[in-house]
Amino acid sequence: MGEKVLLRGNEVIAEAAIRAGCQCYFAYPITPQAELLEHMAVNMPRLGRTFVQAESELGAINMVYGAASVGVRTMTSSSSPGISLKQEGISYLAGSSLPAVIVNVVRGGPGLGDIAPSQCDYFQATKGGGHGDYHMIVLGPSTVPEAGTLTMLAFDLADKYRTPVMILADGMLGQMMEPVDLPDPIDVASLPKKAWATTGAKGRDPNIILSFDLDPEVLKRMNLELQRRYREIEKNEVRYEEVETGDADIVIAAYGTTARIAKTVIRMARAEGIKLGLFRPITLWPFPYAPLKKLSERVSTVLTVEMSAGQMWEDVRLAVAERAETPFYGEMGGVVPTPRGILREVKKYAH
Amino acid sequence: MGEKVLLRGNEVIAEAAIRAGCQCYFAYPITPQAELLEHMAVNMPRLGRTFVQAESELGAINMVYGAASVGVRTMTSSSSPGISLKQEGISYLAGSSLPAVIVNVVRGGPGLGDIAPSQCDYFQATKGGGHGDYHMIVLGPSTVPEAGTLTMLAFDLADKYRTPVMILADGMLGQMMEPVDLPDPIDVASLPKKAWATTGAKGRDPNIILSFDLDPEVLKRMNLELQRRYREIEKNEVRYEEVETGDADIVIAAYGTTARIAKTVIRMARAEGIKLGLFRPITLWPFPYAPLKKLSERVSTVLTVEMSAGQMWEDVRLAVAERAETPFYGEMGGVVPTPRGILREVKKYAH
Amino acid sequence: MERSVIIAGFGGQGVILAGKILAQAAMNHGLEVTWLPSYGPEMRGGTANCTVVMANETVGSPIVDEPTSLIAMNLPSLDKFEQMVAKGGTIIVNSSLVNREVARNDLNVIKLPLNDLGAKVGNMRAINMIALGGYVKATGVVPLEVVKETMAQMLEKGGKGKFVPLNAKALDEGYNAAH
Amino acid sequence: MERSVIIAGFGGQGVILAGKILAQAAMNHGLEVTWLPSYGPEMRGGTANCTVVMANETVGSPIVDEPTSLIAMNLPSLDKFEQMVAKGGTIIVNSSLVNREVARNDLNVIKLPLNDLGAKVGNMRAINMIALGGYVKATGVVPLEVVKETMAQMLEKGGKGKFVPLNAKALDEGYNAAH
Amino acid sequence: MPRGMVVIDKERCKGCGLCIAACPQKVLAYSGQLNHSGYNVVHTEHPEACVGCTFCALTCPDIAIEVYREKVAA
Amino acid sequence: MPRGMVVIDKERCKGCGLCIAACPQKVLAYSGQLNHSGYNVVHTEHPEACVGCTFCALTCPDIAIEVYREKVAA
Amino acid sequence: MPTDLDSMVKVFSRPKSLTEARSTYCPGCQHGILTRIIGQTIDELNIAERTLIIAPVGCSVFAYLWYRCDAVQVAHGRASAVATGIKRADPNLVVLSYQGDGDFASIGTAESIHAANRGENITVIFVNNQVYGMTGGEMAPTTLIGQKTTTTPSGRDAAMFGYPIRFSEMIAQLDAPVYVTRQALYDTKRIMDATKAIKKAFTNQVEGKGYSLVEVLATCPTNWHMKPVDASRHVVDVVTKVYPLGDLVDRG
Amino acid sequence: MPTDLDSMVKVFSRPKSLTEARSTYCPGCQHGILTRIIGQTIDELNIAERTLIIAPVGCSVFAYLWYRCDAVQVAHGRASAVATGIKRADPNLVVLSYQGDGDFASIGTAESIHAANRGENITVIFVNNQVYGMTGGEMAPTTLIGQKTTTTPSGRDAAMFGYPIRFSEMIAQLDAPVYVTRQALYDTKRIMDATKAIKKAFTNQVEGKGYSLVEVLATCPTNWHMKPVDASRHVVDVVTKVYPLGDLVDRG
Ligand SMILES: Cc1ncc(C[n+]2csc(CCOP(=O)(O)OP(=O)(O)O)c2C)c(N)n1
Ligand SMILES: Cc1ncc(C[n+]2csc(CCOP(=O)(O)OP(=O)(O)O)c2C)c(N)n1
Ligand code: SF4
Ligand code: SF4
Ligand code: SF4
Ligand code: SF4
């Protein structure tokens, strides 16, 4: 398309999904992702594709399970409490090796919380909020344009590894507008056929979608296959960004909206002579442990900044393993850290 | 009551809950915790207490939310997929500071999985399967008698800290019988009154139970109060067991059923001259980081053994921080590691 | 160089749209830009606001703790945001509804009687454009013509082309009224 | 010293109860004990089994990969568990239903025609007690009298006191039939 | 003296107009004044016509109206 | 020659007895033989009475019964 | 003012069981009328000290602010389950489960139906405004055929989105409920009828009779994009044709 | 055997669309009869190549083993939602949502009702055996008053546990469903009636008519603690009194 347009993050995710060939979208309304639903309500029927406002988040994720079984690209979106309701369904998707995209426009929690931006669902997304040994690929966009490109990528990764993929956004990213170059729509017909999909047992043996076997030895084998795929994803798909880390003494570890704010902090800090850099994981699962480990060997401090009580912080500490200081600065409940607030923290570790 | 009886883990948890003064129990059937429900179905009405078979796990956890609001001791139980369905409710309980006990008799996952014992819900339990920055206290009993004592403890801790507490058991612990000395019933009347409970605004200002505020600054304060309480719990309530660690060169880190099996392995290993010990977290949250850190300073290897792909392993590595080797041995899908299987792993690290 | 403005007022005063037009105009003018609304129930019946950040380089934080400008369409908005404005910044105040002076004296304060001016251009719904006109004059962040064109394009796209002349007049009115 | 036995058979053959009685008897006899059933759908219509571990000290693993004994009430059970039994261990086989020999020769094999013996004591439901009697004789893990008493207490508590004489007879029958 | 009287809490009134429609006596009308929340609030344009029937108050979603009625001689 | 005939798959039969009750001709009965799953399976005790009505097969939950009927001369 | 207050008596004032807090509803939103009716009922039955208000997720999420009663704010759709837990824990409490149509008849379908089927001794007020108010005007299960919402931008089409659900009629199929009724608030008479119905629903609970459900047709001027007065008219002209008023069950 | 196979024709055999796998049901369980009827229907309509079987959680969790059709095993209670997803993604597929009464009428209440209300063009078979079979005989929403289950050890008491739910009657209140019927399997005639009903429910879908629901009263000899033949008798004598047989909606 080439043409720059000013759009909300929610709309960009929706539009990118459409351009990635999403055929079926199912969701239940919730703030702050209402515009995503609305964009789909307007545009999916127009394109002859499926939009269903489900009776609940449980309904929606299980409709996704159905559509994914049949082999079409499919998506659902929600925000924190709604995502909690999808946990059983996500575990089933993972267990049944079904590709699907799930968007969480995170808000303040726990419980009903509020509708302001937050990053307090990182654990749920990356460690597995559902039951069982599974992982989703979790992508953490930092700007509105990146929300678009990562959504396109999400569909590709989902298909490639037969796995659910989550876009972990937040209320700010969903609500804000920013100029964006919308990616070109893919050619749906050119996507590889899914031989495993339950499209009707015509001229072949039946295909079965399932996440269970009552024989533990068989279920173990199914789990080993999942784990094999997770190791492959860890090998191939780790994505991250480093900003001004070359000479950095202090590095901020942050993702998503917080990372974006941190970029302003770098400018402010460098203006004051503090050698500050940024390590930004783009894949939150698989987490970029190795590059952060490497980086931690040559900095004094890795300051984790999150809109949470310290969740990604655990992964940072796992990577750093006490090689550097690993302090934490977090805001909670929908409060967004300000550049000045972060700078104040940075200064505590600058010498 | 002094007399030893042979009972199933599920029955012991149920009976301990009754003796801890659980007034209201709500649940939906699922294997392998059926006997827990059945014990409650028989005994709660007999004692004039509440037993409701809910329409679903969502129904059950929200009934618990209601009963907890009113200030009575209350419990629900389920197994893995059912616990996933309770995640929104658990986040609400935590957000609203409501005491309640939740039992997860874990089975193989993900998805429908199977009904054999597993430890694959550790992440969900300890990191927060629901949305938002919250924690539950998570207790991991290793034997049937301990399932009883920890259930009693769970109710006390829930009330003390106004928090949900989870008993993280597994199918084997739930199904097996073992001799147990049932604890004496507490005197319900002697429990401290809950001034915050919504028992009717008689002679006082209204009490309100809620987990939200639309003003991020207020929600932040609510979160800070939760975090303050979590720090207090971390200070006061860490529990763990060390077995033959005094001279140990290799230590197995394991909890629950796996830890019990590891005790057999210690006997076998020591018979062969291998200095093997066991570090067993009893509180899985708060995890005993400090004692394990200390222990890791004087052993060569901390071998984590779980019935999972390696979940508690992350906490072990956080504690050990590369001070010792941290290999992992896991079984999945409901397969239970055998003493010989574990010993084989141990030998890889014995010199 | 980064400029930022918080536009705030009652629910019906059109602050969200004013912000969108400004952001789109700035983008058309070649600037990097972010637009961030307050959202959800707080808007209903009560107050609404949005933040526009415009810069030559990539915008860092779309939330600003020191906006360079504030457009306060009512008293609660002035009360809430006055202290945040950066030293030397600009405040546009709707003096029709705000019955107090701006307390700070390190700012460029422009009082516009928006409701009276609205009556003058013939439609109270256009007061957001009057305010925006005043802001453009005071800050010069985007040329008035670009704002006008952008407004016209956006209204036409939304099927509200017939309101273009009115809003153009309102932009002029505000532009001229600002000293 | 730790003894363990897997008791396995068809769903209706009473293996779960036999295991419970053995476990309770061992406990009454002062031993540490665990009892672990197979559970869930695999029981339905198909086969069932349970594992009892008895020891002087705390029982470690209630799952055993080398049981010291096996009671195989039917062919699938023998097929499934024969290879697991510890060297020098004991297998009680229901020779009424198992039409093959035990393949291993490092075990103490006791063949009991349980169905015929059941007919003899007058009730096919008692064959689990016949097998248990044989096991007690072969292993001596708990005295027969303790098992009998325990059985009587348990049946009486469950309101099935009238079946005590039959089951006592069955225990004797199995005890005597085991060489 | 009118038979009834209504007192409107200006800061509670949201100017929805339901009371205006509910009043059988056409007592109420918009005042043209904005309150602190920016609403055009209702006032008693024809207080003399009020019969104290309470219809306006019954319909007011913001419970902004109190109603008085003439004391009936005991 | 009987008008009908049923063939029972012994390994599928679970001895539930529904077919015995469904047969209007009382053709079927328990055989007293256990199959490999331990079920007392049904057999045709009175094959000569079979009319091939299929009632037993319709009711068999395990689809253990096939039914044949005399060829009608063309 | 020309009148003499001394010669007047107050015949209508704020119910005592309500706090002074201002409502958070939009201008003309009939949720507000219900607040007043409920307050009045609590006053009349003198039960403020033992009433528990369940504040759902929806525009009435702030319901806990308005009553001088204990209150519990609950997860979206689960109010009837929470009410069950409360009532079973303390049967002496009077429990009001106040729910929007999205809450009660969509996400909460299972909890709503099974609480009714168990005959929980609670009072449920189910506010049918044919739209999701709080989240900005999406389709509700009750949305009328052809009605435009943000998720049915060309109007609700039965083939794609199904039909407006008459949930009370479904509940009325169950054996347990003692009282199921549909009321409206579009004029003074309907407001007085609804007041009676709500009082009856509370009285049933106080007398231990069991489950009562009052469905109330209400307006959402904001998301219907109508003036409040026109919205009331719309209820008369259109909405009551799909959702007829009246008692469906009365076993009291 | 005295008969001469050559002179005989096979008049009843295993439906072609079924595999050779043995059933996992208990002896005499009527789930098995339904398997056969469904197989026969798929044969008759010649739709095996485009039929998708949804295997629920419950005793029929293994349903995917029995048909020579593609199949999807789904979460407990969510079969109707999954069916919606499948059918919307590919309307050419024929989707059977096979669900137990716990699955359909308890945990799946919301998904069941809203799929029906949307009029999804699917076929639902809802097996009402008044008990949770798979998990060992707990109370189902359909359990009869006085019926003993593991969670109602003294029999279902309405005051504590509510009433047996007539879910099909609730579904019949909706505007969308084209066919809602209740059938049984306790004798040959009923089996033949049920066969007709199931064929009709599939035919409706093939012809694009919309949502069809066949409730089937079935036995669970294991958890009823009855011999299979006695269980059938119990359906006639007791169960059909609470759940009358027959069509509730037929807009086909
Ligand atoms: C689990 C969950 N899903 C969705 C939401 C978002 N949400 C808040 S209110 C609401 C619907 C409100 O509609 P209704 O119940 O009809 O009440 P109204 O606002 O119209 O009074 C929704 C979907 C939520 N808070 N939680
Ligand atoms: C979320 C969840 N909750 C509970 C269960 C346990 N469970 C398995 S089957 C079943 C009920 C089965 O009953 P029904 O649907 O009536 O089918 P039936 O077995 O009687 O055929 C339950 C509760 C589960 N697997 N998943
Ligand atoms: S009904 Fe109430 S809020 Fe509405 S205009 Fe009248 S007084 Fe104001
Ligand atoms: S109906 Fe079938 S399974 Fe049952 S006894 Fe007859 S042949 Fe065997
Ligand atoms: S959005 Fe609708 S329901 Fe909500 S407060 Fe406003 S008018 Fe009332
Ligand atoms: S438990 Fe009941 S429903 Fe399940 S297979 Fe057995 S008889 Fe059938």
CA distance G105 to G162: 14
More reliable by pLDDT, C13 or B160: B160
% of chain B surpassing 70 pLDDT: 99
Q: Residue G113, SS3?
A: helix
**First and final CA of chain A: distance in angstroms?**
49
The complex's ipTM works out to 0.97
Q: How far is CA B181 from the centre of its chain?
A: 21
Residue H31 has pLDDT above 70, yes or no: yes
CA distances for D150 relative to B12, D22, D144, angstroms: 21, 8, 10
Q: Which residue owns the Cα nearest ligand 4 atom 3?
A: F13
User: Chain D residue closest to F35 (CA)?
Assistant: D97
- Put simply, the answer to whether C44 touches G27 (Cβ < 8 Å) is no
Which residues in chain A are closer than 8 Å to B115, comparing Cβ atoms?
A: 214
What per-residue confidence (pLDDT) applies to G186? 98
Considering every ligand atom, which ligand is closest to the CA of G61?
A: 1
Q: Please state, as a whole number, how many other Cβ atoms lie within 10 Å of the Cβ of residue H155.
A: 13
CA distance A165 to A177: 24
What is the secondary structure of B276-294 as a DSSP string? EEEEEESEEES--HHHHHH
Residue C60 has pLDDT above 90, yes or no: no
Considering every ligand atom, which ligand is closest to the CA of H100?
A: 2
Give the domains, in start order, of chain D with CATH numbers.
Answer: 2-177 (3.40.920.10)
Q: Residues E12-30: what's their mean pLDDT?
A: 98
Neighbours of chain D (3+ CB pairs under 8 A): A, B, F, H
Q: What are phi and psi of A121, to 5 degrees?
A: -110, 20
> For A126, which DSSP code?
I
pTM greater than 0.90:
yes
CATH number for region E4-69: 3.30.70.20
Q: Residues G72-85: what's their mean pLDDT?
A: 98
CA distances for D149 relative to D24, D27, D152, angstroms: 10, 12, 5
Report residue H162's pLDDT band, with 50, 70 and 90 as the boundaries: very high
Neighbours of chain B (3+ CB pairs under 8 A): A, C, D, G, H
CA distance H4 to A70: 49
- Put simply, the answer to whether G119 touches H159 (Cβ < 8 Å) is yes
Summary mean pLDDT of chain B: 97
Asked if residue A171 lies in contact with residue A105, where contact means CB atoms within 8 angstroms, the answer is: yes
Residue B57 has pLDDT above 60, yes or no: yes
% of chain B surpassing 90 pLDDT: 98
Q: Which atom of ligand 1 is nearest the CA belonging to G142?
A: 16
- Put simply, the answer to whether A198 touches H71 (Cβ < 8 Å) is yes
CATH number for region G31-250: 3.40.50.970
Report residue G3's pLDDT band, with 50, 70 and 90 as the boundaries: low
More reliable by pLDDT, C45 or E15: E15
Distance H132 CA to ligand 2 centre (A): 6
Report residue F71's pLDDT band, with 50, 70 and 90 as the boundaries: confident
Q: Which residue owns the Cα nearest ligand 4 atom 2?
A: F60
Q: Residues H146-154: what's their mean pLDDT?
A: 98
What per-residue confidence (pLDDT) applies to E42? 98
Residue C43 has pLDDT above 50, yes or no: no
Distance D42 CA to ligand 4 centre (A): 21
The strand pairing partners of A170, in sequence order, are: A106
Cβ(F64) – ligand 4 distance below 6 Å: yes
Q: Residue E7, SS3?
A: strand
User: Chain G residue closest to H121 (CA)?
Assistant: G159
Distance A87 CA to ligand 6 centre (A): 29
Asked if residue B115 lies in contact with residue B78, where contact means CB atoms within 8 angstroms, the answer is: no
Cβ(E50) – ligand 3 distance below 6 Å: no
Per-residue pLDDT of chain D (179 residues; tens, 9 = 90+): 899 999 999 888 999 999 999 999 999 999 999 999 987 554 455 678 999 999 998 898 898 989 999 999 999 999 999 999 999 999 999 999 998 999 999 999 999 999 999 999 999 899 999 999 999 999 999 999 999 999 999 999 999 999 999 999 999 999 999 97
What is the secondary structure of G188-210 as a DSSP string? HHHHHHHHHHHHHHHHHHHTT--
Q: Residues B305-311: what's their mean pLDDT?
A: 98
**Pocket of ligand 1, beta carbon within 6 A:** A 28-30, 57, 81-82, 85; G 57-60, 76, 100-103, 127, 129, 131-135, 140
CA distance D136 to B263: 28
State the Cα angle at A119 between A21 and A323, rounded to 5°. Answer: 110
Q: Which residue owns the Cα nearest ligand 6 atom 4?
A: H133
Distance H11 CA to ligand 4 centre (A): 18
What per-residue confidence (pLDDT) applies to A2? 59
Q: Please state, as a whole number, how many other Cβ atoms lie within 10 Å of the Cβ of residue B37.
A: 25
Report residue B228's pLDDT band, with 50, 70 and 90 as the boundaries: very high
Q: Residues B317-340: what's their mean pLDDT?
A: 96
Span G30-59, pLDDT tens digits:
999 999 999 999 999 999 999 999 999 999
Per-residue pLDDT of chain A (351 residues; tens, 9 = 90+): 457 999 999 999 999 999 999 999 999 999 999 999 999 999 999 999 999 999 999 999 999 999 999 999 999 999 999 999 999 999 999 999 999 999 999 999 999 999 999 999 999 999 989 999 999 999 999 999 999 999 999 999 999 999 999 999 999 999 999 999 998 999 999 999 999 999 999 999 999 999 999 999 999 999 999 999 999 999 999 999 999 999 999 999 999 999 999 999 999 999 999 999 999 999 999 999 999 999 999 999 999 999 999 999 999 999 999 999 999 999 999 999 999 999 999 999 997
Q: Which of B183, B129, B263 is nearest to B13 (CA)?
A: B183
Q: Which range is least confidently modeled, A90-104, B15-29, D149-163, H2-16?
A: H2-16
Pairing mode of beta strands A240-243, A276-281: antiparallel
Give the domains, in start order, of chain A with CATH numbers.
Answer: 4-188+210-236 (3.40.50.970), 241-347 (3.40.50.920)
Burial environment of residue G138 by CB neighbours within 10 A (0 to 12, 13 to 18, 19 or more): buried
Q: Residue C2, SS3?
A: strand
